[in-house]
Structure 1
Amino acid sequence: MTTAGPLIFTPNKRKDVRVIFTRTVKVFCQGKLHGQFPARNLSLGGLFIEGVTDIPVGQDCRLELYETGLRSSLILKFSGMVRRKVEDGIGVSFTGMEDDSFMFLQTMVLYSSDDPIGVAEHFLEDFVPKSASAS
């Protein structure tokens, strides 16, 4: 088999599975509310927030997400850092969160994924001891 031109391969630098995530996120910088913005996608490592154009790369921030259900409400809090900035928003990587926030993230990614079995296997990779995976 031959190709008509050179192959271009652009590896995905992200190690975490991303899913579509349409919620509003409150963004706090330097202890003050910066605003509420829509999130576009989510992973265990971070999220993309649309509409934020004036927070520089490297800035620490705090994020709040309000998840409401029929019988309960949950406020999820994350610490993050702006890792990338594009014309329509920012990519924030998580630097810290509480256990319930992490469990929520896992659940959202698992149930929103096109490949939940592959995502579950990816989750398990973090719990398999390195010596066991080498054998």
Structure 2
Amino acid sequence: MNDYYGFTPDKWAAAKREAKDILGARAKLRGLIPYSDLAARIESVQLAAHDQRLFHLLCEISEEENAAGRGMLSVIVVHKAGDMQPGPGFFELAKRLGRDTSDILKCWVDELKKVHAYWSAKAFPGAQSSSASDLA
């Protein structure tokens, strides 16, 4: 992509790395993050919660993560109030990536489970082999 939405290629790449790190850390905890909190935590560029450039950033991250088989990482980014779900852009991307969006709640929950499963397993690499006594 040659258009970096008004940012230099280096700044855009840095913002994507930051956002992915923030999202990955939150997904490891099986959590969610509001758009406004994510935007405030990205330091390499200035973005607001409703900034179209934030949505493009999230789209690129989700496309890359999906291509790698890890699901749409932006699934954990949600509205702070109201429905507390991802915005319509998430579901448009989900449809483009082949997800069934006829029931958006089911689409969201299914994708959320996939992303949380991947990242939480990554966070605790030895957890699968631990015995019950190790966990007590």
Between Structure 1 and Structure 2, the one with more strand by share is 1
- Report the TM-score, using the length of structure 2 for normalisation: 0.26
Between Structure 1 and Structure 2, the one with more helix by share is 2
